[in-house]
């Protein structure tokens, strides 16, 4: 039985990834920050798959001081539920978004984007790889905005670019353990990004859809299938890559 840890697993791409893992017989430890009920619903859905077990644990990526306690919860869960001391896959998906122009930018906003989208995942990974199985796999969720210049996304895009670059460095460092590290860069995706911006402003969808080669924006399942495939042995000869999954956005 393979076990995956998925951060930000209660919503959007993280939720879809957790459910796709379950369909393929992989058990899941998913994290949530604000949406406990949604996370528990994902757990129930996952456990409908034969032989799959799941658990939801609270994690705030901005609070590094809580990581030791979170790691202990993971270890306890591995032992009690799976009689294991290790896990196999890590999906660093948890993050926050939303634009802010440089003229309006606050230090609070900068720190939130930094800590949730880059610093938190870096140090969480540092904690978790200590008991990840050799020959495992990591997938980081970056963003196609790292290669674009939409107004208001200077910090978000820059930190996603940093996360993409970090992916390559860590792939090199973990190669002796045969741990593969890759990333996916979503384009515009109908998830809860920006606190559900597309649901609140559906008028944003059509212009973005018209910018893609396939004439629509992405759905969480589009990303989930790529993420889970990257974790699998089908991509056993692929590491240090960042694959854009955007339907040809701005092609």
> Burial, 57: exposed, middle or buried (Cβ in 10 Å; 0-12, 13-18, 19+)?
middle
Gap between the Cα atoms of 92 and 43, Å rounded: 18
- pLDDT higher than 90, residue 89: yes
**φ/ψ of residue 47, rounded to 5:** -80, 0
The per-residue pLDDT for 201 is 66
156 catalytic, yes or no?
yes
Between residues 150 and 195, the one the model is more confident about: 150
Q: What is the pLDDT of residues 194-229, one digit of tens each?
A: 556 666 667 778 988 898 999 998 999 999 999 999
Task: Sketch out the chain's domains with CATH numbers.
Answer: 3-245 (3.40.50.720)
Active-site residue (options: 32, 89, 153, 156): 156
Q: What is the pLDDT of residues 95-115, one digit of tens each?
A: 998 899 999 999 999 999 999
Between residues 181 and 249, the one the model is more confident about: 181
Query: Which tokens in the block code for residue 23?
Result: 């369909």
The per-residue pLDDT for 190 is 85
**pLDDT category, 18, cuts 50, 70, 90?**
very high
Name the average pLDDT for the chain: 94
- Given a contact cutoff of 8 angstroms between Cβ atoms, the answer to whether 178 and 129 are in contact is no
Q: What is the pLDDT of residues 112-125, one digit of tens each?
A: 999 999 999 999 99
- pLDDT higher than 70, residue 193: no
Residue position matching structure tokens 């880059």: 118
Of 130, 115, 5, 138, the residue nearest 66 (C-alpha): 115
**φ/ψ of residue 190, rounded to 5:** -80, 80
Average pLDDT over residues 49-61: 98
pTM of the predicted protein model: 0.95
- What is the helix, strand, coil percentage profile of the chain, to 5? 50, 20, 30
Gap between the Cα atoms of 227 and 111, Å rounded: 27
Of 138, 131, 95, the residue nearest 230 (C-alpha): 138
Gap between the Cα atoms of 240 and 95, Å rounded: 21
Query: Which tokens in the block code for residue 218?
Result: 């992405």
């Amino acid at each position: 039985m393979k076990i995956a840890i998925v951060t930000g697993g209660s919503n959007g791409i993280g939720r879809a990834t957790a459910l796709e893992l379950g369909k393929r017989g992989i058990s899941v430890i998913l994290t949530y920050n604000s949406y406990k009920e949604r996370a528990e619903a994902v757990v129930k859905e996952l456990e409908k798959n034969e032989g799959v077990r799941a658990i939801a644990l609270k994690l705030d990526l901005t609070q590094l001081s809580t990581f030791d306690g979170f790691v202990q919860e993971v270890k306890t869960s591995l032992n009690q539920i799976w009689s294991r001391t290790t896990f196999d896959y890590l999906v660093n998906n948890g993050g926050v978004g939303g634009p802010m122009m440089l003229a309006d930018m606050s230090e609070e906003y900068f720190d939130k984007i930094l800590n949730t989208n880059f610093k938190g995942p870096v140090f969480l990974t540092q904690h978790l790889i200590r008991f990840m199985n050799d020959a495992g796999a990591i997938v980081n969720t970056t963003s196609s905005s790292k290669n674009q210049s939409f107004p208001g996304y200077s910090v978000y895009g820059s930190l996603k670019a940093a996360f993409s670059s970090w992916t390559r460095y860590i792939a090199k460092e973990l190669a002796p353990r045969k741990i593969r590290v890759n990333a996916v860069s979503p384009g515009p995706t109908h998830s809860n990004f920006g606190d559900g911006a597309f649901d609140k402003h559906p008028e944003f969808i059509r212009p973005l859809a018209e910018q893609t080669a396939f004439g629509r924006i992405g759905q969480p399942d589009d990303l989930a299938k790529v993420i889970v495939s990257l974790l699998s042995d089908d991509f056993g000869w692929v590491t240090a890559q960042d694959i854009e999954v955007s339907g040809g956005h701005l092609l």
